Each structure stands twice: as C-alpha cells, then as structure tokens.
Amino acid sequence: MYRLITNEGSRVHTYEDVVTSIIYQQLYLDENIIRDRRSEVEIRVEGSKEIIKAMMNLVLSKIDLWDKGKEIEYLLFITKATFVDYKKVSNKYHNKLEPLNEDQLKDKIFRFLLLLSEVISAIHIQATNNVIKTLKANLKAIMKAKEVQKRIDELSQASSHDFSLMLNLGILCIYARINDLPESLAAFNRYFSKVIKQIKEE
C-alpha cells in the first residue's frame, strides 16, 4: 500500500485517499449526496455514487504506471481518458514542481496529488464553461450577452446555492460521460431551470 506523510506530519495518505479527497472536494459527500461548493446545502442525486466510484476507479486504474516512475505515460493516459488538454495540464503540473524541495520531489504520492489536482481542475473548468455557454444560449433571445454575464457573475459572487449546485451537477454529468454512464440530467435540468428563472427575474 502506498502512503504519504503530509506536511502536517500526522496525516497519512494512500493514493486512494488522495483520489477520494480531490474528487469529493466541494462536490460529493457519500451515498448519492451532492453538495454545493461551500458545503451548506446537500441534495440526493440517484446514480451519483456509481459515477463518482467509476471516476475514482478510472484515475486509479493505471496508478502502477505512476508508482513505477512512468509519469509521462500516466499523464498521457489520464488526459486522454478524461478529454482534457495534455499540454496544458502537463505545463501546469511542472510549474507546480518548480518550487518544491528535494524531499517533496521524491514523494511520488505528493506529486500525484499535484497532477490529479490539475486534471480535475481542467475537467471542472470545462464543465463550468459548457454550463455557462448553455445558459447564454438559452437566454440569447431575450437578454443581451453582457447582461447575462453580469447576472452570472452576481450569482457566483453571492455564492448562490442553486448556481453552485447547477455547476456541480454539470461536473457530475461530465464525469458520467467520461465513464459512459447515464448522466444525472433530471437533477441538472432542475437546477438549470432555477438559475434561468433567477437570471430572468432580476
């Protein structure tokens, strides 16, 4: 079993712990519960447990490549499997390595944490951009693009629970697509409709 002692000194992580922490972060609790990004609201989404489990299994399926020092091979695998840009993720990951000390650079699990953070971040950005694009397309006929963007920014800055849950459900849909599983479209559409209504009402 692969373990990592974090900087706090008292916490011990395995590769599995790292994957759980990063994929669950600001998104998933357990047993089909999705949360908003501030962990203030929780909703039940049937099928989310299977989607999250599949995503974790995908990330860990070739972890032996990473553990054997074949970082490039693993990076090629995970970026292809998750449909994110290899070059962008690779550049961001290597930028994060630059300030590390020798002990940190030797720590394979710590480096894996840095890489996975970039991969998941890329997926989140892609999912968020897709949702925002869809919002704008749905409101194009009745509102100017600048007006829609202004309202989106306001909802984001106000930490709107509905807006946050909509984005997280969009991420969940991307995770499902990556793993060829049914998307949680009913839940996503419910919160998408709520956000559309809030933007129109302003």
**In the prediction, which pLDDT does 93 show?**
96
The C-alpha atoms of residue 93 and residue 115 are separated, in whole angstroms, by 6
**In the prediction, which pLDDT does 201 show?**
81
The C-alpha atoms of residue 111 and residue 117 are separated, in whole angstroms, by 10
**In the prediction, which pLDDT does 105 show?**
84
**In the prediction, which pLDDT does 8 show?**
42
Under 8 Å between Cβ of 110 and 4: yes
Encoding tokens for residue 14? 């395995």
Entry pTM = 0.90
Please give the average pLDDT of every successive group of 10 residues along the chain, which has 202 residues: 39 83 92 92 96 97 96 97 97 93 87 96 96 94 89 92 96 97 95 94 72
Burial of 65 (0-12, 13-18, 19+ CB in 10 A): middle
Encoding tokens for residue 140? 């194009």
**In the prediction, which pLDDT does 202 show?**
63
**In the prediction, which pLDDT does 5 show?**
38
Sign for the CA dihedral angle at 76, 78, 83, 85 comes to negative
The C-alpha atoms of residue 79 and residue 101 are separated, in whole angstroms, by 26
Under 8 Å between Cβ of 150 and 17: no
